[in-house]
Amino acid sequence: MSFHKSTKKQKSDDISKQQSSSGRTCATCHRDISSEIYIKCSKCIGYNQCLECFSVGNESQNHLRSHPFLILEPMLQPVFRKGWSAEEEVLLLHAIQVCGFGNWHEISDVVKTKTALECETHYFGTFISSPIAPLPVDEILPEAVLPPPPDYDTAPTDSRPSIAHEKNLAERNKKERTTPAEFAGWMPRRNEFEVEYHNEAEQLIANIAFFESEETASTMETKLQFLRVYNEILEERHLRTQFAIEWDLLDHDFKGFGGQSAAEREVEDSLLPLAQVVPREPLTNFVHSVQKEMRLKDTIEMLMKWRKNGIVTRDEGRMFDNLEKLMNDEKLAPAAVEKWNKDFMIYAESPEFRATLDRQLLSIAENQLSRNLGISPHMYLRLKDLLLREFSIRKEMTREIAVSFAPLHSKMMIEVYNHLKSLGLFYGSKSEDPDDFEPSNESLINEEEKKDEPKKYEEDVMEREEEEHPDVQNEEEEDTASEVGKSKSKSKR
């Protein structure tokens, strides 16, 4: 706030020159005037002059001869306690009122002839501990006994609450202000700034006083209105401070909510005014949800465009987007076309492309099963083809028969067999117990259609077997295929 300046800063530089262990000195000639009539300035705190300097109109940096003054006589006799003159008593009470209770070092600077400990001891012993406190007793007390000094340093230190203070900046290896908090004079221990919102608002209530005998309804309402306005300003200061802390505006400027595109940043700008009434976390979540919705809409539009152009995989879609970007940017040079064609040929010959095509032949459950077993969609199709072909020839299919085709991969064969069995593809097997088998509604087949199905299915499977490319299989598929081949040869023999 605006009234954090200590009384020490309000004193002129000339007052420090007056401080002397012998008592009062002249502010201009620095002569001791403790026992003679002197001139005291009413405007400059603690400014005294001898009659000689006053008569010739001597001035100093902050004191002018035109200032109002008092002619005073030294009052050396004690009035409340021995060792304290009447003038020192007046200076003590005046210094407490000006410097604030507890600022004993600054109070002693005003009294000049007493230390901070002497001022504190005398005030508590004479006024606070009095039977008729806060008034002293009507007698001259003996000199007060000073307590032993504390075992720690009580000397005043330079107050530098603001992080923008030169020494505070130097401690952080900085020569000038760079952050918003430093420019605003942020004082973290006080939770306020050097220059606050409506910094001079305290002047509204600085001189307000209520006198019951003198107040009228009009004057009372005027003073109360000043207090209401001041309270509103205090509340606004608090809100602004909390806003700066919550949104982390003290260390750096607000950079936004993390929007990636120009449209997302535009949404952020339109929603940012809500920060005045909405806390940071819920507003951030709301902005992120709106941005996520925008990204999902863009993704859906992109997928619809891909589908419209016959694109079925993400890699193909990215290559399509790259080509479209080249065409929109008018950068479709022969070298760019050749590079794009080369990239597409590499992708078309990759196992991933073949696996993507095979994956489209599988249902959602079959894709999940192949991922769980760690086999490619192509390998799953071959195992499925084998089991269905053998079932059509043998008219039966059991777990033992399925495992016999690949004994080293019994777990995999059992999982594939159980899945096909759950779909009802082995319905009517001679070795199956009808009570233990319940075909799913998804794959029930009429018995009449089932009679003609094995031949047609076997022919289709044989044609697909001839068209398959063994070079896209991994090592595990080759081992399984070799075992399957041996089992097939045994069954033929």
Q: Is residue 354 part of a domain?
A: no
377, 454: one domain: yes
Cα 95 to Cα 112: distance, rounded to the nearest angstrom:
11
E strands, 114-238, in order: 186-187, 192-193
Pairing outcome for strands 186-187 and 192-193: antiparallel
228, 119: one domain: no
- The Cβ of residue 367 has, within 10 Å, a number of other Cβ atoms equal to 16
Which is nearest to 184 in space by CA: 201, 167, 199, 204?
199
Which is nearest to 84 in space by CA: 47, 46, 51, 127?
127
Amino acid at 386: L
Structural domain boundaries enclosing 317: 309-349
Residues 6 or more apart in contact with residue 218 via CB below 8 angstroms: none
Whether the model clears a pTM of 0.85, i.e. scores above it, the answer is no
Cα 313 to Cα 18: distance, rounded to the nearest angstrom:
91
Which is nearest to 91 in space by CA: 71, 75, 67, 69?
75
* CB-CB contact of 237 with 196 (8 Å): yes
Cα 434 to Cα 428: distance, rounded to the nearest angstrom:
8
pLDDT at 236: 93
pLDDT at 353: 61
Strand-pair partners of 81: 141
- Domain end, chosen from 223, 246, 269, is at 246
Phi and psi angles of residue 5, each rounded to the nearest 5 degrees, phi first:
-75, 130
How far, CA to CA in Å, does 324 sit from each of 119, 163, 295, 319, 338? 87, 54, 20, 9, 15
Amino acid at 460: D
Cα 147 to Cα 149: distance, rounded to the nearest angstrom:
6
pLDDT at 61: 79
Question: Which DSSP symbol is given to 202?
Answer: G
- Domain end, chosen from 203, 231, 246, is at 246
Pairing outcome for strands 48-49 and 192-193: unpaired
Q: Please report the DSSP string for 56-101 in residue order.
A: TT---SS--TTS-EEEE----SBSSBTT-BHHHHHHHHHHHHHH-T
- Domain end, chosen from 228, 246, 264, is at 246
Q: Is residue 485 part of a domain?
A: yes
118, 18: one domain: no
Which is nearest to 112 in space by CA: 33, 46, 50?
46
411, 469: one domain: yes
Q: Is residue 444 part of a domain?
A: yes
Strand-pair partners of 71: 39
Cα 15 to Cα 98: distance, rounded to the nearest angstrom:
15
63, 97: one domain: no
pLDDT at 228: 94
Kindly list the averaged pLDDT for each block of 10 residues, start to end, along the chain of length 493: 38 39 75 84 87 87 87 82 87 90 89 89 90 88 86 75 86 87 87 89 88 88 93 92 86 80 89 88 92 92 87 78 77 74 70 64 84 84 90 89 89 91 81 44 40 46 46 46 49 43
pLDDT at 15: 38
3-state helix, strand, coil in the chain (%, to 5): 55, 5, 40
322, 388: one domain: no
With tokens 């940017």, the residue in question is 329
397, 481: one domain: yes
Question: Which DSSP symbol is given to 429?
Answer: -
Q: Is residue 431 part of a domain?
A: yes
With tokens 């509340």, the residue in question is 235
43, 118: one domain: no
95, 186: one domain: no
Tally of domains in the chain: 5
Task: 472-477: list long-range contacts, CB under 8 Å, 24+ apart.
Answer: 472/351, 472/354, 472/355, 472/376, 472/378, 473/376, 473/378, 473/379, 474/376, 476/374, 476/375, 476/379, 477/375, 477/376, 477/378, 477/379, 477/382
373, 488: one domain: yes
E strands, 364-440, in order: none
Cα 214 to Cα 332: distance, rounded to the nearest angstrom:
91
Q: Write out the two tokens for 140.
A: 């001259």
